[in-house]
Amino acid sequence: MIGRHGGLPWRITGRPRRTSAVAVLALALALVGGSQALAHDEGDDRKGGEHPSATDARWAAMMIPHHRTGIELTELALEKSENDGVRDLAAESRHDQQRELPKLEKVARAGGLEPMPPEKPIRRFNEQQMEKLRELSGPEFDRAWLDVFSGHHVSAIMMSDVALAGTAGGLAEKLQEQIHDVQLEQLARMNELREEVGEG
């Protein structure tokens, strides 16, 4: 398995749009959630991990809509792709994210938060990506979908890595580690698939 704090296996060349939403999401969590974690009394939380820290709760509240978008993307791939590798990965990721959603909701509720949709510019960015994907088919769809879904995974990995620095342990920490590690492994597979389908 790829190390949690090692280099991330993604490439930027030729695909500049894939990182813009990533940077915004990760920075938002680092600046807002991270600053709350510094002010949080970590002593009791870190002993038992029964109550999420402010960072844990905010991470979960942000990850809920992120997972819902991810599920939508996987269902689109299952509907449109004819590539076995893409379909297998989409089915696996859909299962993972559907299984994690109730646990994320539990962490957010325990921290007194409701799901936190991304801000309007990021929502519009996501909508534009979905609109473009729906217009494509065949290998062109596979290439575009892999680019979009890779970026989606990168943002989840970065958000989880940041949240781990301020976690109170327990369920939140387990989810952060799981999402980070599983999606990092899937990202490596997407890079391989992207090489297989070529540049078009």
Average of per-residue pLDDT across 31-52: 47
Domains of the chain: 17-35+49-197 (1.20.1260.10)
Please give the pLDDT value at position 50: 67
| Of 54, 183, 164, 67, the residue nearest 117 (C-alpha) | 67
Ranking 8-12, 93-97, 99-103, 131-135 by mean pLDDT, the lowest is 8-12
Please give the pLDDT value at position 41: 42
Residue 49 has pLDDT above 90, yes or no: no
Average of per-residue pLDDT across 35-41: 42
Ranking 1-10, 43-52, 68-77 by mean pLDDT, the lowest is 1-10
CA dist 76 to 52, 82, 97, 132, Å? Answer: 33, 12, 15, 12
* Cut 0.85: pTM above it: no
